C-alpha cells in the first residue's frame, strides 16, 4: 500500500497538534463531493456504458430503486450504513474489466478506474471517515475515541530531538493497522519497533525489547506505588511478539493464510501509543 501524501494543512496540523483531527462516523459533505467526482471519472471512461448498466442495476436491485436517479444522487443522499453499502457496490462495478469495442474490428478490456479501492481509502483517510475498504468489504477502523486520545497525543509527544525513529515506527504501525488484514502482522512489528525505539530514546539500555523492559523495571521512572506496572509491561511486550510469531507471515507461514486478528492489532498499536505518551512525559527532554 502506498501511503497518501500529506498536504500543507495536514502537515501543519500534525506538527502543531499531532493529529489530523478526530475520525467521523458519518460521511461529510466534503467526502460525498469527492466521491461524486470519483463516480464522474468512472462514468466518463471508455467503459461507461457497461459500467453504468452493471452498477445501476446492482443498486436498483439492492436498494429497491425505480424512476430517474443517478449514482451521484445516491452518493449525495444515502445515510451512513447505506452509503457504505453503495461504496462496496460502486467498487465492485468500477473494478470490473469490461469488453469495449474500439473501432470496427477491435475489442479491448477496459476498467473504469485503475485502482478504485486505493482511491476510496485515500478519500476516507483525507476526510477523516472512520472506515476503510479491504478486499471489497468496508471495515470500521479502530475506535475514533482512541484515535483522538491515544494516536494524536503519541504523534505529538515524539516531536522532539532524538525521537525520530519512534515517530517513524509508530506512523508505520498506524499505516499498516489501517491497511487491511494482510498488513496486520506488519502493524504489530512496527508497534513493537516503536516501543523499542521509545525505550532507547528515553535512555534505557538494551539491544531489544526484553533487556530494555528489564532496565525499565529497575528505573526510578516508575514510582514505588506502581512497581507492578513494569512487570506487566514486560509481559505485554513479549505477548505482542508471540502473537506476531504465531499469526504473522514473517515467520514462515504462507502470506495472508492466517492474518493477525484486527482486535489484537488495535490493542498493540493503541497500547504502544499510550506507552509512548507516558515515556515522553515521564522522561524530561535534554
| pLDDT at position 256 | 45
Burial 135-172 (b: 16+ CB within 10 A, else e): eeebeebbeeebbebbbbbbbbbbeeeebebbbebbbb
All 3 cell numbers of residue 217? 523495571
Domain membership of residue 187 (yes or no) is: yes
**pLDDT tens, position by position, 227-236:** 566 566 566 6
- Assess contact for 62 and 85: CB atoms under 8 A: yes
Same domain for 275 and 242? yes
Averaged pLDDT, 195-200 = 89
166 and 266 together in one domain? yes
**Domain region containing 91:** 8-13+30-123
Q: What is the pLDDT of residues 71-85, one digit of tens each?
A: 999 999 999 899 999
Q: How confident is the model at residue 2 (pLDDT cuts 50, 70, 90)?
A: very low
Is 21 within the bounds of a domain?
no
User: What's the rounded Cα separation, in Å, for the pair 87 and 249?
Assistant: 30
Q: What is the pTM of this model?
A: 0.58
Residue 273 pLDDT level (bands cut at 50, 70, 90): confident
Q: How far apart are the first and last CA of the chain?
A: 37
User: How many CB atoms within 10 Å of residue 257?
Assistant: 8
CA distances from 56 to 34, 48, 51, 87, 142 (A): 19, 11, 8, 12, 32
Mean pLDDT within 217-244: 65
**pLDDT tens, position by position, 96-109:** 999 888 777 788 88
Report yes or no on 226 lying in a domain.
Answer: yes
- DSSP structural state of residue 129: B
Q: What is the pLDDT of residue 49?
A: 93
- At CA 197, angle to CA 196 and CA 203, rounded to 5? 95
Report the pLDDT value the prediction gives residue 1, as an integer from 0 to 100.
Answer: 38
Instruction: Please tell me which residue, 208 or 111, carries the higher pLDDT value.
Output: 111
Domain presence at residue 194: yes
Are both 149 and 178 inside the same structural domain? Answer: yes
Which of 77-86, 168-177, 180-189, 225-234 is most confident? 77-86
Residues 195, 74, single domain; the answer is: no
Q: Among 71, 94, 123, which residue terminates a domain? A: 123
Phi, psi angles (nearest 5°) of residue 143: -45, 125
- The residue with greater pLDDT, 242 or 173, is 173
Question: How many domains does the structure of the chain reveal?
Answer: 2
The pLDDT value recorded for residue 233 is 57
Determine the Cα–Cα distance for residues 34 and 30; give it in Å rounded to an integer: 6
Q: What is the pLDDT of residue 249?
A: 53
Q: Are residues 93 and 47 in the same domain?
A: yes
Amino acid at each position: 500500500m502506498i501511503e497518501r501524501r500529506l498536504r500543507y494543512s495536514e502537515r501543519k496540523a500534525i506538527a502543531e497538534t499531532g493529529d489530523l483531527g478526530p475520525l467521523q462516523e458519518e460521511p461529510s459533505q466534503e467526502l460525498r463531493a469527492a466521491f461524486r467526482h470519483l463516480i464522474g471519472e468512472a462514468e466518463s471512461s471508455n467503459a461507461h456504458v457497461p459500467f453504468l448498466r452493471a452498477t445501476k442495476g446492482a443498486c436498483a436491485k439492492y436498494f429497491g430503486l425505480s424512476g430517474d436517479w443517478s449514482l451521484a444522487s445516491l452518493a449525495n443522499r444515502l445515510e451512513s450504513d447505506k452509503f457504505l453499502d453503495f461504496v462496496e457496490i460502486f467498487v465492485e462495478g468500477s473494478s470490473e474489466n469490461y469488453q469495449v469495442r474500439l473501432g470496427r474490428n477491435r475489442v479491448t478490456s477496459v476498467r473504469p478506474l485503475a485502482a478504485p479501492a486505493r482511491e476510496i481509502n485515500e478519500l476516507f483517510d483525507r476526510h477523516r471517515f472512520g472506515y476503510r475498504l479491504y478486499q471489497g468489504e468496508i471495515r470500521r477502523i479502530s475506535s475514533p475515541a482512541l484515535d483522538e486520545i491515544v494516536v494524536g497525543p503519541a504523534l505529538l509527544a515524539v516531536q522532539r530531538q532524538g525521537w525520530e525513529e519512534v515517530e517513524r515506527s509508530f506512523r508505520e504501525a498506524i499505516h499498516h493497522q489501517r491497511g487491511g488484514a494482510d498488513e496486520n502482522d506488519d502493524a504489530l512489528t512496527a508497534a513493537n519497533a516503536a516501543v523499542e525505539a521509545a525505550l532507547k530514546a528515553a535512555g534505557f539500555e538494551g539491544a531489544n525489547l526484553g533487556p530494555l523492559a528489564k532496565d525499565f523495571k529497575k528505573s526510578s521512572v516508575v514510582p514505588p506505588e506502581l512497581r507492578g506496572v513494569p512487570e506487566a509491561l514486560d509481559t505485554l511486550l513479549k505477548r505482542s511478539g508471540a502473537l506476531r510469531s504465531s499469526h504473522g507471515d514473517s515467520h514462515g507461514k504462507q502470506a495472508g493464510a492466517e492474518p493477525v486478528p484486527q482486535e489484537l492489532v488495535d490493542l498493540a498499536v493503541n497500547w504502544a501509543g499510550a506507552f509512548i505518551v507516558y515515556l515522553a512525559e515521564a522522561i524530561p527532554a535534554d
